[in-house]
Structure 1
Amino acid sequence: MKACTPYIGMLIVQFAYGGSNILCKLALENGLSYLVFIVYRHLIAMVILAPLAYLYERKNRHSLSLAILAKIFVLALFGTTIHQNLYYAGLDYTSPTVASALASVIPVLTFILATLLRMERISMKNKKGRAKLLGTTICISGALIFTFWKGHQFKGFVEKPLIVVNGNVHAHEAEHERHDWIKGSVLILTSYIAFSVWLILQGIVYKVYPAGLSMNTIICFFAALQSSVLALIFERNSSSWHLSWNIQLVTIIYCGTFISCLAYYLQTICVHEKGPVFVALFMPLLLVIVGVFSAICFAERLHLGSLIGAFMIILGLYCYLWGKNRDTVKDEEDKDIEEQDEMFSKIGLQTQS
């Protein structure tokens, strides 16, 4: 059961992100300022995580140094402040389905960064190395097709949206020109680069400060602090800070509890146990989760470019997975050989003595 825990944890994370994408789209359409939203959600998460960190990690928590705090500050900068501000700015120009589909490039970006940092091995001399490189190329090509080409429009699952925002979802999307749609996609892609950097840095920081709850509490503190500065500069409307019981407040509570609190912690543990690329490989599930929900509830239409791009993204992803799995098998075989050699060496020494 313990071996399955990272897989179950990442499934929970993807369903949580799927719900977040839909709720955030609704809240943004209803006037929620994403700058204020990011501040509030991390304050909520900090209030939840702080007592849990004190209860469960007070005996095993490592001491905090200025160097560790600086690393966590940078971690919060990439994973929350840069990533989320760009992401929500982009989400205001496009749909949750597009945002979720573009998330499929996160495994590729994470793999590239891990390779540059020598956390992943790649060689053109063997099949697994070529499969990784080919998968990376196909996945990036699919993301570009999904982003920049629509093509023929297909009939959706439902004729009318079950959830209507500002009168009509399609009418709102029609307000945006094509360059606005591309702008949103570029912003989201840039935010995913920051997210990939965050996954890499999480593994590095956790090694020097192995306290997941405490680390994420500090991340939420720095995220709220950094985003407050941005909000005070760019969000001049004081009424944006006022909350009432509506979809905006529901979204803030949901994201603060299930994303900034639960998902952050589960990701940190999974990065520590399985590595950043493992966590990134689960991101394409958002395409299925949000795509189905949006098609049913928002009556979103599928396009030829979306289908071809999604197919290429999935094909490239699992082409990479095949190469990654072969690497894992090879590592396990090498480890077994090393253990056997070590055992025989000990037996030989005991015999000689």
Structure 2
Amino acid sequence: MATCAPYVAMIIVSLAYGGSNILTKVALEKGLNQLVFVAYRHIIGMILLGPFAYVLERRQRPSLTLPLLLKIFIVSTLGTTIYLNVFFAGLAYTSATVASALNNVIPSSTFIMAVLLRMEVVKFTRAAGWAKVLGTLICIGGSLIFTFWRGGYLYKSLEDRPLINMYSTTQGTTTHEFRHPKENWIKGVALIITSNVGWSACMILQGVLSKDYPAPLSLTTWMCFFGSAQSSFLALLFARNIALWKLEWNVQLFTIIYCGVVISAFVYYLQYWCISVKGPVFASMFSPLVVVIVAIFSAIAFAERLHVGSFIGGALIIAGFYCVLWGKRQDASSHTSEHKEDEMNVLSSTRTTIEVSIDDCACADPVITTSERQ
């Protein structure tokens, strides 16, 4: 059961991120300012996690030195301020489905960074090494097909009318597709890819930081603190209108509460725990699941019509995803078997040494007896 816990945890993380992408897209379309949104959600996460981190991790939390605080600050800057604000800026120019599809850059960029930093070992003499490389390439190819193959037939959406209407209406009819100018769409794609690279760097640094600061609740609280402080500072510069900070009972407030409680508090902690247990590459490989979750929900809630490329790309994404997971599992099993062999060799050599010592003592007894007789 313990071996399945990281897999279950990352599936929950993917479902939570899928809901976050949908809600955030709706809230931004309704006028929610992204800087205010990031600041509010991390304030909620900090308030929720702070007491638990203080009480539950009093003994395991190491002393906070200046170099360690600087590392946490850099991780927070990459994983909250840069990643979220740049991602939401790009989300304004694209749909939630396309933005989620572009998140599949995360596994490949994380894998490349981990290999360059020697945090991930690729042995091409084994099938597991080839599986991880080919799986990463298949995921990249599937996400590109999903995003850029706009030709072919459009499959009919699951609903005739969207359950959530945030599109413009023309003469009593509702358009079911986003109509972004080409230059804005390219701008959105570039912004989202940039944010994903920043998130990959954040996960790599979290893997390193987990050894120096083995307190996931406290680290998540610090990330929420720095994320809220940095985004509040940016909001004071670029969102000076006080009306943007006003909260009402609407979808914007629900999105802030959902992302603050579920994402900033619960998912951040769960994801950091998975990174500390299984490594950053393992956690990043679940990003392809988000695009499938968002695509299904968008087809139901927004009545989005999917291209043939969406189905082919989604199938490739899932195939590559499981290919990499298989390679990771094979590496883990081979590492375990090698570790057991080393233990057996050590035990065998120790046993041989003990037997030799006993034989030496047995051979020495007659000599001692003879000398005593003399």
TM-score of the alignment, normalized to the shorter chain, above 0.5: yes
Decide which moves more: 193-202 or 304-313: 304-313
CA distance in 2, matches of 1:11, 1:224: 27
CA distance in 2, matches of 1:316, 1:7: 16
- By how many angstroms is 1:251 displaced? 0.6
Equivalent residues of 1:148, 1:182 under 8 A apart: no
- By how many angstroms is 1:304 displaced? 2.4
Q: What residue number does 2:341 align with?
A: 337
Question: Which structure has the larger Rg?
Answer: 2
1:204 aligned onto 2:205:
no
Task: Note the residue ranges of structure 2 that are not aligned, 5 or more in a row.
Answer: 358-374
SS in 2 for 1:3: coil
SS in 2 for 1:284: helix
- By how many angstroms is 1:181 displaced? 2.1
CA distance in 2, matches of 1:138, 1:10: 20
1:234 aligned onto 2:238:
yes
Equivalent residues of 1:42, 1:260 under 8 A apart: yes
Cα distance change of structure 1 residues 8 and 145 upon mapping to structure 2, 3 Å threshold: closer
Q: Provide TM-score, normalisation by structure 1.
A: 0.94
Q: Note the alpha carbon deviations across 1:300-322, whole angstroms, 9 max, x for none.
A: 11012323332332333333333
- By how many angstroms is 1:231 displaced? 1.5
Task: Note the residue ranges of structure 1 that are not aligned, 5 or more in a row.
Answer: none
CA distance in 2, matches of 1:202, 1:263: 14
Q: Which amino acid aligns with 1:127?
A: A
SS in 2 for 1:176: coil
Equivalent residues of 1:147, 1:185 under 8 A apart: no
Cα distance change of structure 1 residues 172 and 311 upon mapping to structure 2, 3 Å threshold: closer
Equivalent residues of 1:139, 1:314 under 8 A apart: yes
Decide which moves more: 285-294 or 80-89: 285-294
CA distance in 1, matches of 2:333, 2:175: 52
How many residues align structurally? 353
SS in 2 for 1:334: helix
Q: What residue number does 1:160 align with?
A: 161
SS in 2 for 1:2: coil
SS in 1 for 2:94: coil
Q: Note the alpha carbon deviations across 1:27-59, whole angstroms, 9 max, x for none.
A: 111100011100010011111111111111123
Q: Note the alpha carbon deviations across 1:62-105, whole angstroms, 9 max, x for none.
A: 10000000000000011111110111111111122222222233
Q: What residue number does 2:199 align with?
A: 195
Of residues 286, 289, 309, the one that matches 2:290 is 286
Q: What residue number does 2:372 align with?
A: none
Equivalent residues of 2:35, 2:239 under 8 A apart: yes
Instruction: Provide the aligned C-alpha RMSD in A.
Output: 1.9
Equivalent residues of 2:247, 2:253 under 8 A apart: yes
Q: What residue number does 1:65 align with?
A: 65
- By how many angstroms is 1:11 displaced? 2.0
SS in 1 for 2:104: helix
1:348 aligned onto 2:349:
no
Decide which moves more: 120-129 or 329-338: 120-129
SS in 1 for 2:156: coil
Equivalent residues of 1:11, 1:282 under 8 A apart: yes
Structure 1 segment 1-353 matched on structure 2, within 5 A: 1-152=1-152, 153-165=154-166, 167=168, 171=175, 173-353=177-357
Equivalent residues of 2:131, 2:327 under 8 A apart: yes
- By how many angstroms is 1:174 displaced? 4.0
Decide which moves more: 109-118 or 300-309: 300-309
Q: Note the alpha carbon deviations across 1:225-260, whole angstroms, 9 max, x for none.
A: 111222222223321111111111111011000000
Runs of 4+ in structure 1 displaced over 6 angstroms? Answer: none
Q: Which amino acid aligns with 1:351?
A: E
Equivalent residues of 1:94, 1:173 under 8 A apart: no
Equivalent residues of 1:76, 1:220 under 8 A apart: yes
Cα distance change of structure 1 residues 330 and 2 upon mapping to structure 2, 3 Å threshold: closer
Q: Which amino acid aligns with 2:111?
A: F
CA distance in 2, matches of 1:194, 1:173: 29
SS in 1 for 2:157: coil
Cα distance change of structure 1 residues 131 and 5 upon mapping to structure 2, 3 Å threshold: closer
Q: What residue number does 2:369 align with?
A: none
